[in-house]
Every structure is written in C-alpha cells, then in structure tokens.
Structure 1
Amino acid sequence: MIDKFEGVTKQLRTLVLPELDIDTIEHLLADRTALIREISKTVQRISVERNLYLPSENTQLLSAAIADEILGVGPLRELMEDPTVSDILVNGPEKIFVERSGKLVKTNKRFIDNQQLTDIAKRLVNRVGRRIDESQPLVDARMSDGSRLNVVINPITLDGTSISIRKFSNVSRTLKDLVSWGAMNEQMANFLAIAVSCQANIIISGGTGSGKTTLLNALSRHINSDERVITLEDAAELKLQQEHVVRLETKMAGVESSGQVTMRDLMINTLRMRPDRIIVGECRGGETFEMLQAMNTGHDGSMTTLHANSPRDAVARLENMVMMAGLNLPLDAIRRNISSAVNLLIQASRLHDGSRKITHITEIMGLENDIIVLQDIFSFKISDSVNGKVQGSFFTPGLSTRSNIYSRAKMHSKDNYLKQVFG
C-alpha cells in the first residue's frame, strides 16, 4: 500500500469486514477472483458513504488483501503457494522473511497493521482446533496441509505478532535426490540403503533446517514392506511409503490443562503395539530412554532425529536426555545403553552458503574405559569457498571388519552388496 493512503486503508479494512455478507462470502470461497470482486463493491460503497477517498488501484489491493485474509493467510498466500519457499517467518506486520535454498531473504510483503496480522494468526490457530490469547500466547501446531505452524502474540512478543511456518512438501524425497543435490555421494547413499534394510538403529543429528526430516523420510523408503512401523511425532511430517504404518502424534493440554499426551506417553504405549520398527520424529527429553530400550529389546531398525552439531555432541545429548527421564541411572550405565543400542550417527549440516551436506556417517563401535568409541565411515572435508559456495569432497577410510553394520549385512545376506559399496 502507498503510505499516503495507509490511514484510509486501515480505516476501510475495519469498516468493511463487519459489513461483508457471510452467506455470500461462503459461496465465493472457492473462487478468489469473484470474492475480490464482491469485496471491492463493499469497499467502494463504504468509501462513498464515509467520504474516504481511495484510488482504484489501492481499492483493488485492499480488496485482495481482505480476500486473502478471509481465505486464511492474508499476504502470505503467494508465499505459501511458492514451491521454492521452505520457511515463512513473520516478525511483526512489516517484516516478512522466507527461506529459499537455505538462505533467508526479506520479502516485499506486509500486513496492513499488527491487528490484521494478529487476526489472521488467531484464525490460523482456530482452524487447527487450538486457542491463542493473552493467557495462552504461544501455539505450536500442524496446519491442514501438514505445514508446521508456530504463533506467538503479545504480551510475549514485543514488536508485533510472530508467525513461523515450516512448509510441508507433498514430494517425498529419495536418497537419489539427496545425491543429485550434492548432500551426499552415491557410495554413501548405497551404504545407508543397505544399513536401513539390515535394520541398523540410526540417529540423525543436526541443527534446525539442516535436512534431518528430509533424510529420515528418504531412509524410510528402504524399510522392508513386511515390517510394522510406528511413527511418533509432535507435528506429523514423515511420509512413509509402506502399507503397514501407524502414525501417532502428541497432543497439547486442552483449555482446562487436561488431555495432554507427551512423546514419552506415546513411546511407552508404542511398546505395547507390537512394532517392528519405531521412528520418532525428534527426541527431546525423557522419551529417549524408552527409545534406547526399544532398540535394545528387539525393535531393530528404529530411527530418530535430535539437535546436535557433531556426532560426539549427539552422544552427549543422548546422555543428557536419558538423564531427563529421572531414573537416576549412573553415567556408565547410560553409556552402555547407548553403545549397545545405536549403530549409526548421521550428521546433517547446513553450511554457510545455505547448502546442506551429510558431513559425517559415524558408527558407534562400543565402550572403551567408559568412553563411547566413534569411528567415521564417511565424512565431508571442506577444501575452499569459491564465489561464496563451499567446495569440498566426501571421504571414506572404508568399513572395518569389526563393524556391526558388516555383521548385520552378513546376517541379512547382504554382505556382498556392502563389499561392492567399498570396492
């Protein structure tokens, strides 16, 4: 909107919304063009009645903004429909950022004011069956299309309502896709496919936006079709292709602070559901203990993700999360549990140029002097940066004959395939 008419625009929006005929609007929800035309009539009528002058171009912009507001996401509509956008981040009415190809950029989109932004945020939250107000000023939820939604309003936010949307992709990526993007090489992809099919227990580690869930989805394609898989998530993002999949999702407490179902609740119940494999979208707390117990008691091939910056940090994070279960286990017992449960740590990283790489595929070899021994099977070595783009190569020392992955491959009669991977 042109600044000269900003005050009139705000005033008209406030006057137009209550004047719109609900029945007429509901019949036009499937036709955005017709909806804008109907809203424009109301804008023009009120402009004349209230003697509020607005140029025809601005009238169209306001009508389109109100239509998009009614349809759900306001000025974010085009960004939601843009396949190149992976994240939408709103920091108040005039600061809307998106992530494209791993890089954050500011857009020219804006809300009319913070009231419009807050109204749209509340409408988004209401549509997913949740509530947001001053007594409950933040919400994390899943939108109808699968996108993750986080909303924070006053009094917690100081510069206007905040909306964060991690867009849901309908396309399920494969390891071949990750190879074509340069996230890993073909040798790594073949190794991981064999490891998953041989029921290795895998932890994917990485920072926010590093591609952990994308990798988890790609790995899940190599789960055998005759296995019963149960997935546990805070917000459902996994897209498994197998037929025998049970999807579970945590639940926040209701209005009366009741009915909450935590990840640990789901994890404990899952063990009673006769799973072959358990896939946890992300381990954050005490449920990690139950996850490791499951890996140690016949649920081979289970997988999860966690936030950490390196394989060694991932081990430390696992130790800390087991302690959060409140079982007062000694550290050496926790380390024995981890070393016997987890086979592979995969480190996903987003580099400074926005590219995503699998920087380590690391095997847990066991315990020595109460220290968990790690051995890199693959790693990414950065060599240079050219025109802001990271240059480097993937390296492997080969697979040790002491490797648990080699033993698993032999047990599943796939050791010859593994030998072919490493030449």
Structure 2
Amino acid sequence: MRGSATSGLTTGGVPPAQALVDVVQEVARGRGAVLGSAALVATVERVRAAIFGAGPLQPLLEDPAVTDVLVNGPREVWVERAGRLERAPVDLGSDEDVRALAVRLAAAGGQRLDDAAPTADARLPDGTRLHAVLPPVAGGGTLLSLRVVRARALSVAELVASGTLATATVPVLRDLVERRANLLVSGATGSGKTTLLAALLSWVGHDERIVVIEEAGELSPAHPHVVRLMARRANVDGAGRVDLAELVRQALRMRPDRIVLGECRGPEVREVMTALNTGHDGGCATVHANAAADVPARIEALAALAGMGREAVAAQASAAFDAVLHLRRAGPGRARRYLAEIGVVRRTAEGWDVQTGLAVEPSGAVEHGPGWGRLVRGRG
C-alpha cells in the first residue's frame, strides 16, 4: 500500500513492523547509540526501503502524486508528478550501486538481470512496473524506469474534477457502458487509458462478473466481482510461458459477463475480436494509437501478427468494436490528460474506420461530429 509505514516491494518475507523495529534498536544499542522516537522511525523506514523496497527511491514511489520514477544515473533521477517531469534531489551513490539496485528489483519481480540478460521487464510484488537496462546496452549506465500502479481506481467524478473528462461526455460514456457496447480505449503511453477504463468499469452492474486479462496488474476497478488472469513469461529454461492470447481463450470458459484486456499489443487481438463476435458483449481493451482515426491501422498491424488479412480484420473488427475512446495530453507542457474524442466504429467500402461522434477540446468544450447520431442510437 502506498504511503503506509509498512509499504515495500515485497510482501512475502517482510518481517512484521515491530520485529524490524526491535532489530534496529538492538543494532543501535550494540553500537552504543540511543535512538529517539523520530530517529527510530526514520531509521526503520530507511532499513526497510534498503532491504525490501527501492532504497532511496522508495519515498518517491510512495508519493501519491508520482506516477513514474526514471533513473538515468546515480544523481539523475526524474519523476513524473501531476503529469510533469521534474528532477528529484536523490543521490543513489555510484554506478555500481544503481546496477545493484536494478538487479535486486528485477529479482524481486522474478526476472534475471545480468550481462547475459541485460534487460528486464518485471512486475514487482506491490504492482510497480519495472524496466531496467544494463550497460553496454544502456550506453551511459544502468537505466531504471518504474511506473507506480495506483492503489485505488479514480472515480468518474474525480476524473471530471481533474479535467480528464468533460462533463458533457459523462452521460455518453455511461450509456455506452450500460448498453454493453464493446469499447477500445486508445492513446499514447501514459495518457491515462487504464485510469479511464478502471473508472468506467465501476459502472458495470454488481451482478456481473468481470474477467481482466493483463501482463501487469494495473487495472483495479471499484467493482465487487473482478477476477484477474496474468500473463507469465518463460523461465530461464524457456518453459512456462502463458501469453495473452491463451488467457483470452481461457477467460471464455470462466463464465465472464465482461472480458477486459488490459492492452492489445500483439496477436491476442484476434482472440479478443473472436470473443466479442461470439456473444461476449460489453468487453473492453486498450490500445496504443496516435489518434482515434489511426486505430484501424493499429489493429490491422497487430492482427497481421496473427496471420489475419486486411479484409478479415475489417469484417471482424467492425462487428466486434462499437466505440473508441481516445485520450491525449493537453497544453504546451502536455501536463494534463484528457478524453479528446469518442468515435464510432463502422464498416466502409474500403474496410472500416472510426468516425468522430464527440470531439473535446482541452478547455472542455465539446462538439458533435458526423458520427454523433450513430453514437447515441447505438448499433443498428
């Protein structure tokens, strides 16, 4: 849990808080030192972070305003706070210290990181996403990227208050969820796709079962009946891999009311489209795309990895997906994330496309597009 005195990157094997306090006090007495209450708390937290957490980076990960921690070198630590990158006054010691921290964090996520495997992409036990690169692949030294997973889903009201959602889009979004439209949430990395999707899923009826399929456990909707399937990488022997496509197939056997894929990034898009074309409506997924109009090209590229031709993709996608919700960053500083467009998916003579139903300006002003009538009428 972020911000708690007992937080850290591991849950198994972490001693109870009082046990760690006792150890610190014992070591201090052995050195002839007496720690006051404030010094004791600070020392215990440093020890916990050094052994079980991210060391000097742990306070940054526990800052509720921080979403990303980026390490370019021992004294080059950056954080994204409230949507903006800023330098953090953190000293990680030497290049060797940064490497040792990266190796320890990768191990905590069950990944190998060494000269033979110089990159690691792992999910840490508390949900934090880790990406690490060692030299010489990383030219200037060990690189670390940590993305913090939000402890709770933001509500739609909070997204409206923050400017992510224009007030006029809320009834349209609620209607899409309640009539079980199949949704694609698109946008660039860090644009807020998972945050928006989690908020929308909180509107799903509490008598429905949601099966969430992810590579990393980022999606945590405020809903009482959510089950999660997690992809697994192959071990060092190349065995044990379970990919997203297999998990989508398994989800169909779990009596889902709604199937949610955290991110379409490969051939699993074929299984998702198949599922949404076989009676499993109300499904959702996210996908990286520059604009709503670019989503068809992105889906076609991913489906090609599964051996699908363009005509087959057009037939499947136009029947599988109802609407695209596209997010962007606003302003010159690109600090705020906002829902910029709600588009409707339609079949065309050339294949399929996404037609704008609602366009939203960074100011929150909303304009109806050519697809507005179809958006409010629903399919057919």
Summarize deviations over 1:228-277 as a string: whole Å, max 9, x none: 22110000111133333220000011121110111112122222333221
**Map of 1:98-177 to 2, 5 A cutoff?**
98-177=79-158
For residue 379 of structure 1, the aligned residue among 353, 359, 375 is 359
Rounded to whole Å, the distance in 1 between the matches of 2:296 and 2:191 is 18
Aligned partner of 1:341 among 312, 320, 323:
320
Deviation at 1:30, TM superposition (A): 5.8
Larger Rg: 1
Cα 1:169–1:373 change in 2 (3 A) is: closer
Partner amino acid for 2:141?
A: G
Residue matched to 1:317: 298
Work out which of the residue numbers 35, 52, 55 in structure 1 matches 2:24. 35
Q: How does 1:36-115 map to 2 (within 5 A)?
A: 38=27, 68-115=49-96
Deviation at 1:65, TM superposition (A): 6.5
1:376/1:39 CA distance change after superposition, 3 Å: farther
Q: 1:359 to 1:43 in 2, by over 3 A?
A: farther
Residues 316-325 or 28-37, more deviating:
28-37
Report whether the alignment pairs 1:193 with 2:174: yes
**Sequence identity (%):** 34
Q: Report the alpha carbon displacement of residue 26 of structure 1 after superposing the two structures with TM.
A: 6.8
Task: Give the aligned residue type for 1:334.
Answer: V
Give the drift of 1:32: 6.7
Letter in 2 for 1:271: L
Match of 1:368 among 330, 337, 348: 348
**Equivalent residue number for residue 8 of structure 2:** none
Structure 2 partner of 1:245? 226
Cα distance change of structure 1 residues 107 and 371 upon mapping to structure 2, 3 Å threshold: same
The separation in 1 between residues aligned to 2:353 and 2:15, in whole angstroms, is 62
Shift of 1:405: 5.1
- Asked if the contact 1:79/1:85 (under 8 Å) is kept, the reply is yes
Unmatched tracts of structure 2, length 5 or more: 1-13, 34-41
- For 1:339 and 1:298, the matched residues in 2 are separated by 15
Tell me if 1:406 matches 2:377.
Answer: yes
CA offset digits 1:35-75 (Å, max 9, x no partner): 3994797799xxxxxxxxxxxxxxxx999977642243121
Is 2:198–2:222's contact at 8 Å kept on the other side of the alignment? no
| 1:235 corresponding residue in structure 2 | 216
Give how far 1:220 is off: 0.6
The alpha-carbon distance between structure 1 residues 78 and 39, as it changes in their structure 2 partners (threshold 3 A), is farther
Moved more, 233-242 or 308-317: 233-242
Q: 1:207 aligns with which of 164, 169, 188?
A: 188
Partner of 1:22: none
Gaps of 5+ in 1: 1-24, 45-60, 383-390, 411-423
Paired letter, 2:250: N
Deviation at 1:82, TM superposition (A): 1.3
Alignment length (residue pairs) = 357
- Give the distance between the partners of 1:64 and 1:301, measured in 2 at CA: 44
Report the TM-score, using the length of structure 1 for normalisation: 0.77
Query: What do the CA deviations read for 1:149-189 (whole angstroms, capped 9, x no partner)?
Result: 22222332122222111112222111111111112222211
The reply to whether residue 275 of structure 1 matches residue 275 of structure 2 is no
Relative to 1, partners in 2 of residues 1:317 and 1:30: Cα closer, same or farther, differing over 3 Å? farther
